[in-house]
Amino acid sequence: MSSDTDIYKHQNFGNHLGIGEKAALLIVDFVNGFDDPDQFGGGNVSEACDNTVPLLAVCRDLNLTIAHTRVVLAEDGSDDNIMAIKVPALKTLTEHAECSQIVDRLTPRPGEIVVRKRVPSAFFGTDLAANFTMRRIDSVLVTGCTTSGCVRASALDAMCWGFRPIIVTDCVGDRAVGPHEANLFDLKQKYAELMTRDEIISELTSRQARTVE
């Protein structure tokens, strides 16, 4: 019996992208509401959030561009959209709501980008792509939640804008294991590179060491 990957391999999918010359770290929607299994979290979301803490520290030490995202909808409902109709609880993610605030352990520092978005993608309807282009970014290290939702949408749009999406596999999470694993599989075969946090840290620090020598 053939494996699930045989057809992709036969058709030459799943080729290697690698990290380009200049990477940015994108932290998608690690906010209090998604860190709480009683609101929007569950599954391995909080674990992925915890795993992102040391990666963020390394990226800060290396002076990488860092971008955080939040879902922020208007309190008066004026910008409610299809996603808010599908999942009405998302309407609670307003500017000052506690559930919409980035978790304390990943609090942005001055100079880090904070993107407010109303749909899954970090790039749709925002200036993030232009900001990355201005900084000559060619690769985006994608962390956050959920793997099947905003992470996937952001990775796809990163690819569409010409950035190499690198999914940090142990720094992305979903409220259910099935969608998490299925989307990692699909992203690897068609759209993105998959690397663990430690693999990325090793690659980034090795490059830094070579530039210092």
List the catalytic residues: 150
DSSP letter at 139 equals E
- For the beta carbon of residue 87, count every other beta carbon within 10 angstroms: 11
Question: Does an H or E element contain 28, and which?
Answer: strand 23-28
CA separation for the pair 130, 122 (Å, rounded): 12
Structure tokens at 20: 């380009």
Cβ pair 171, 192 in contact under 8 A? no
- Give 131: exposed, middle or buried? Use CB within 10 Å, 0-12, 13-18, 19+: middle
What tokens were used for 55? 């990666």
Phi (first) and psi of residue 71, to 5 degrees = -85, 120
Computed on alpha carbons and rounded to an integer, the radius of gyration of the chain in Å comes to 17
Cα three-residue angle 132-135-137, rounded to 5 degrees: 60
Helices and strands, counts by H and E, the chain: 7, 6
> Can you give the length of the chain in residues?
213
